[in-house]
């Protein structure tokens, strides 16, 4: 066999191995697709709590299983149990709101009528330009929207009850995977990095970017959203607004969106207070929203995320919305992460080309 034949055989073998690698990777992804959310959060939990594991390890005489189990106990106490309690309260309040709407006890159109009557003339003219000056038409539209919202709440509550097994299985997979990733994560990471055909410098840069963005997205955005939602729910509870937990969760979700934030929820409520004559409630909610809830983002986010890891707000907003539209709630992590990796890879590509051109 000639050297050219050897070269051709080696090339064919490499191509065949690459095709086989892609095929088995796609097959594994297809098998794991139903639990992609649980797997994603298993990686995130491991990434966030690995520093605690490393802190415990020398104090437990490097008993890896014991350190990993204690770390998972912390995960249960700090993350899982509070989320279960909040989810139970949210389901109870959402069901209560749905039942009150269906029974007629809660009739938002009556409140809307009072607000409509107190509107200034210029606001009514603005509504007229959109075909909303006729209250009967507006009432029908609001009623239709409330009916759809009630049906959605009922459907989601039914689905939660029907999919209890899937939920428990997902939580188990998340915690089970997180345990092994916390205990053996360094070995897994080294194996994966070794298989990537890049230089050691590029591998370190990509790994650093990936871990930084995940930690920033979850630690920064999620914690800030939780704090803002809790503070907003506390204000609603103090002002006597029913279903405070439901409003708190809505504010937490809206806080994930840059340039929108929790104001998407509390501002309309404050406006409603002013229009209906509840002036002191409107003033209290506005002051709390601006001076407390609004400042949380500016105070906590730089401490948790760091200025050097932040992407432009418009990129975060678009990728967060896009990620959630495609992947649901998991998209608020996946969207910005993909955007950050996209920027990092293109930066590496441009740097590599510049270095090659300079040689």
The separation between CA 19 and the C-alpha centre of its own chain, rounded to angstroms, equals 35
Statement: residue 222 has pLDDT above 80: no
Question: How much of the chain, in percent, has pLDDT values that exceed 70?
Answer: 71
Predicted confidence (pLDDT) per residue in 304-346, tens digit: 655 555 667 677 778 877 887 888 777 777 887 788 778 777 8
Q: Which two tokens stand for residue 42?
A: 């298993």
Statement: residue 227 has pLDDT above 80: yes
Question: How much of the chain, in percent, has pLDDT values that exceed 90?
Answer: 3
Q: Average model confidence (pLDDT) for the chain?
A: 75
Statement: residue 86 has pLDDT above 70: yes
What pLDDT, on the 0 to 100 scale, is given for residue 71?
92
Statement: residue 299 has pLDDT above 60: yes
What pLDDT, on the 0 to 100 scale, is given for residue 48?
82
Predicted confidence (pLDDT) per residue in 229-245, tens digit: 888 888 888 888 877 77
Q: Which two tokens stand for residue 104?
A: 């007629």
Q: Confidence class of residue 73 from pLDDT cuts 50, 70 and 90? A: very high
Rounded mean pLDDT, 63-76: 91
What pLDDT, on the 0 to 100 scale, is given for residue 1?
52
Statement: residue 69 has pLDDT above 90: yes
Nearest to 251 by CA among 305, 288, 213, 216: 288
CA distance 170 to 36: 9
What pLDDT, on the 0 to 100 scale, is given for residue 120?
64
Rounded mean pLDDT, 129-148: 59
Predicted confidence (pLDDT) per residue in 149-177, tens digit: 555 555 555 555 555 667 777 888 888 98
| Confidence (pTM) | 0.69
What pLDDT, on the 0 to 100 scale, is given for residue 8?
65
What pLDDT, on the 0 to 100 scale, is given for residue 83?
80
Q: Where are the beta strands (DSSP E) in the chain?
A: none
Q: Which residue has the tokens 């209890």?
A: 164
Q: Is 277 helix (H, G, I), strand (E, B) or coil?
A: coil
Statement: residue 302 has pLDDT above 80: no
120 compared with 224, residue with greater pLDDT: 224
CA distance 295 to 284: 16
CA distance 301 to 297: 5
What pLDDT, on the 0 to 100 scale, is given for residue 345?
79
């Amino acid at each position: 066999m000639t050297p050219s034949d050897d070269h051709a055989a080696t090339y064919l073998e490499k191509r065949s191995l690459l095709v086989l690698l892609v095929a088995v990777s796609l097959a594994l992804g297809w098998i794991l697709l139903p639990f992609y959310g649980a797997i994603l959060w298993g990686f995130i939990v491991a990434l966030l709590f690995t520093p605690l594991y490393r802190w415990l390890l020398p104090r437990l005489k490097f008993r890896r299983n014991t350190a990993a189990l204690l770390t998972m106990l912390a995960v249960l106490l700090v993350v899982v149990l509070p989320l279960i309690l909040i989810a139970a309260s949210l389901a109870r309040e959402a069901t209560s709101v749905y039942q009150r709407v269906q029974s007629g006890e809660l009739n938002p159109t009556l409140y809307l009528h009072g607000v409509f009557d107190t509107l200034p003339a210029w606001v009514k003219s603005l509504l007229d330009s959109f075909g909303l000056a006729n209250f009967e038409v507006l009432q029908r539209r609001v009623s239709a929207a409330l009916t759809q919202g009630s049906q959605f709440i009922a459907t989601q509550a039914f689905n939660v009850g029907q999919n209890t097994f899937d939920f428990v299985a997902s939580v188990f997979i998340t915690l089970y995977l997180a345990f092994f990733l916390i205990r053996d994560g360094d070995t897994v990471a080294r194996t994966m990095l070794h298989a990537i055909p890049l230089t050691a410098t590029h591998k370190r840069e990509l790994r650093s970017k990936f871990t930084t963005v995940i930690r920033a997205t979850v630690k920064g955005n999620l914690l800030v959203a939780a704090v803002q939602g809790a503070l907003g729910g506390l204000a609603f509870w103090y002002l006597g607004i029913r279903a405070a937990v439901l409003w708190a969760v809505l504010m937490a979700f809206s806080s994930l969106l840059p340039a929108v934030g929790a104001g998407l929820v509390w501002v309309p409520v404050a406006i409603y207070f002013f229009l209906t004559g509840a002036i002191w409630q409107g003033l209290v909610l506005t002051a709390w929203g601006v001076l407390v809830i609004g400042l949380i983002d500016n105070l906590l986010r730089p401490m948790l995320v760091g200025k050097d890891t932040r992407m432009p707000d418009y990129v975060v907003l678009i990728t967060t919305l896009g990620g959630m539209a495609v992947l649901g709630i998991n998209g608020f992590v996946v969207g910005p992460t993909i955007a950050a990796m996209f920027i990092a890879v293109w930066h590496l590509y441009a740097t590599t080309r510049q270095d090659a051109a300079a040689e």
